[in-house]
Amino acid sequence: MKNTEEILQALKENFPDFSFELKSDLPVEGFIICNPLVIDKISHFLHDNPELNFDSLINLSGVDEIKANQLSVYYHLESTELKHKLVLKVVTDRNSPEVASVTDIWKGANWHEREAYDMFGIKFLNHPDLRRILMPYDWEAGHPLRKDYENPEFYQGMKVPF
């Protein structure tokens, strides 16, 4: 079983051109921050490396960090065989949020990425079916989990209850 620091060291050794930052000084589980456009490459390594074997994506969730003008995606990973866990975080700009998709690594990411797209407007590059999943397909009033979201008064001529 490896800890977050050991996994970070393996990432730095295998991706010397990529930037990583460990956040472990918070009252929550430590996490590694990495580039949103290469999260797929990093995830492939974490999944395929037999010493790490992160075979399970437990959760993928979007977060609106409005004060920093950014959106984040957190990836909670687990190796069911080796019994270690890891949290990764990617940060992207609120105005043009783009993150590489990990659906080809963990099939369960499909629904989670579609939810983050629908609720936050985060575009997952190379996603096989990136479309709304919770809101109506013709919803044009924005992304409901963004902190600056304002519920529309009407949708297709019907009053929207608050």
91-149 pLDDT per residue, tens = 999 999 999 999 999 999 999 999 999 999 999 999 999 999 999 999 989 999 999 99
Alpha carbons within 13 A on the beta-carbon side of 37: 6
- Report d(CA 102, CA 57) in Å as an integer: 10
Mean pLDDT rounded to a whole number for the chain:
94
Question: Which residues have a Cβ under 8 Å from the Cβ of 24 and sit 6 or more positions away?
Answer: 4, 5, 30
Residue 56 within any structural domain of the chain: yes
What is the reported pLDDT for 41?
A: 97
| pLDDT band for position 27 (cuts 50, 70, 90) | low
Residue 144 within any structural domain of the chain: no
Q: Say if residue 86's pLDDT is above 70.
A: yes
SS3 64: strand
Residue 42 within any structural domain of the chain: yes
Question: Would you say 100 and 109 are in contact if contact means Cβ atoms under 8 Å apart?
Answer: no
- Location of structure tokens 């437990």: 58
pLDDT tens-digit map of 50-71 = 999 999 999 999 999 999 999 9
Q: Domain total for the chain?
A: 1
